[in-house]
Chains A and B, each alone.
Chain A
Amino acid sequence: MRAFLSVVDSIMALTLLFLLLFAFCTQMPQEVRLGSEAKVAYYKKVADQILLTSAMNGYITRLLDSFELGESMGPVLERIVVLCPGRLSCLVEVRNAEGSILCLRGKDPISPCGESNYFATTYSGLLRITCRVGSG
């Protein structure tokens, strides 16, 4: 009888251990993932704000002028990069409709990072301006 009880106790103790381990394995990564997602959402929001502010300040218009005039888009992209908050790093790139990078400025942030796109139509097609923000 004693031995039987010890076996029951052992099973219970092992079950407890297993459940604790299971809870740790399932809950912790989800919390980590949520934390990471919250960070990405914040960086994405900053990237959205950078692009919308650039548009409102006329930088996107100047960027398109530079593109259509065959001038360097670098100086305008540098002005966009300056809009990034100081403690974050930001990379801004312009791609054409085929996905080739036409120009890029800034520092590529460390993962996790948030990304936002701005589309601009020109007479010669579509341009995609991508802004990536993260901790640097």
Chain B
Amino acid sequence: MKRNAFLWSGAVIYFCLILLVLSIVQYGILGVLDESADTRASADRVYKIAYNVFFDFNLHLSREAGRAASQICERGGDPGDLTSCLDLQNWLRLTYSWLNEEGLSSNLSVSRVQFYRHREEDPRDLVQLSQLGLPKEYAYYAGSINLDAVLLISIRDVRTGVSRETEFHVRSLCPIRIFLLKDLSYSFVAQVTENLGTWIRGRDAQDLAENISRSIVDRAENFFWDIRQGLFRGRCEYHVWVSRIGVSLFEVSISLNLVELTDMGEFSFVVSDSKRTRISFRLRDIRTVFRCRLESPSDGPDSGECEGTVYS
């Protein structure tokens, strides 16, 4: 009996020791599992946030390009100045603030930002286009703005120490056709000025002014009709003055007060002041003065003028 009790006690102690060791081992394994799951979750989070920043940057860049295009078009400026109108400071400030709130230390670096003319042979990144809500194939991208940039994102989760550094290449597009708008606007002005010689006919100053005015209207209507097929709308305000300065010599002054071409593409607008705004390229006060002779002028008025507006 005494020996049995001793054996029982020994067995219980032995069993307890095994249980204790197993328990400690299992506790350690669970700890490792817990830690690796935590690290994995943190890595997933950092990965998702890096893409979040990249997508947001792509959208911001496209909107900034639209905003800059709107400013340049308003003054009939050079689309080559698009990059200089870019403002990333506000975006960087907001992004750093929310990354900080999320418990992440970060470093963002934007480089090689280029806005240039889109050509069909230069395809853009399909995911980035899709993210901007743009179709991959669209007949009216030509002359719009290609966006290229490099965004280097370096993020570290302060709690777990997990970090990620990724270089994202932006290859997307802003669908506002500012380059084409500028080309078409100057093409219209060139068509008017180059054809002036063929429009000189009339009996007196007023007749000459009216003939030139009719020619401008014809030219503008034809031009606007042609560009309408490419989803553009046009408007031209003009003023013609003619004054006699000799027996058959006249001075003609033509002012294109406003040449305005608007991109009517499905995606070509910017959102500002809670509304969608179309982008119009505007050339103002383009003036041409020249002298001409009429074959057999009559004794009509010595001066004449005409003005008008042509829409499409």
What is A's interface to B at a CB cutoff of 8 Å? 1-2, 5-6, 8-9, 12-13, 15-16, 19-20, 23, 26-27, 30-31, 34, 37-38, 41, 44-45, 48, 51-52, 55-58, 60-62, 64-65, 68-70, 116-121, 123, 125-126, 128
CA distance A57 to B133 in the complex (A): 7
In contact, B23 and A5 (Cβ under 8 angstroms):
no
Complex partner residue of B1 from A5, A38, A68, A70, CB under 8 angstroms: A5
In contact, A27 and B26 (Cβ under 8 angstroms):
yes
Among A8, A61, A68, A118, chain B packs the most CB atoms within 10 A around the CB of A61
In contact, B130 and A19 (Cβ under 8 angstroms):
no
CA distance A9 to B26 in the complex (A): 28
In contact, A55 and B41 (Cβ under 8 angstroms):
no
Chain B interface helix/strand/loop/mixed: helix
Chain A nearest CB: distance from B9 CB in Å?
5
Task: List the one stretch of B11-19, B175-183, B215-223 in contact with chain A.
Answer: B11-19
Complex partner residue of A69 from B91, B132, B271, CB under 8 angstroms: B271
Answer whether residue B140 sits at the interface, using C-beta atoms and an 8 A cutoff.
no
In contact, A9 and B9 (Cβ under 8 angstroms):
yes
Which residue of chain B lies nearest to A120 when distances are taken between CB atoms in the complex?
B56
Chain A nearest CB: distance from B36 CB in Å?
11
Task: Identify which of residues 23-56 in chain B touch chain A, using a CB-to-CB cut-off of 8 Å.
Answer: 23, 26-27, 30, 33-34, 37, 40-41, 44-45, 48, 51-52, 55-56
Complex partner residue of B130 from A20, A57, A123, CB under 8 angstroms: A57
